[in-house]
Amino acid sequence: MNHLKIKNITLDLTTQEPQQYGTMLLRYMGIRKNGQVPEKWVNGSYNSCWIYTFEKIETGGIIEFEFDYYDNFLKVYK
């Protein structure tokens, strides 16, 4: 996946350049598997839920977005 689609906003995962998310400027930091959720057999292979981490440039904090087994947005962690 090269980008995240969160409602009507798209975030690019292939760049370290600042990106706009609502009123925040974000920079992509990385991805990790959600270890609290088991893998699931989907379309012939095991899939996981993933959490994408972004740095809030102006405040220095982080914001994370969780996606399900089918790359659908689940929730945001602020």
Residues 6+ apart with CB under 8 A from 44: none
Q: Which residues of 19-55 are buried (b: 16+ CB within 10 A; e: fewer)?
A: bebeebbbebeeeeeeeeeeeeeeeeeeebbbbbbbb
- pLDDT tens track for 25-50: 999 999 999 999 999 999 999 999 99
Per the CB < 8 A criterion, the answer to whether 66 and 49 are in contact is yes
Question: What's the confidence (pLDDT) of residue 17?
Answer: 96
Say which CATH topology domain 3-77 has: SH3 type barrels. (2.30.30)
Provide the token pair at 22. Answer: 């609502």
Model pLDDT, residue 28: 97
What pLDDT shows up at residue 14? 96
Longest dimension (CA), the chain: 42
pTM score of the predicted model: 0.93
pLDDT at 52: 98
The answer to whether residue 1 scores a pLDDT higher than 90 is: no
Each residue's pLDDT tens digit, 49-73: 999 999 999 999 999 999 999 999 9
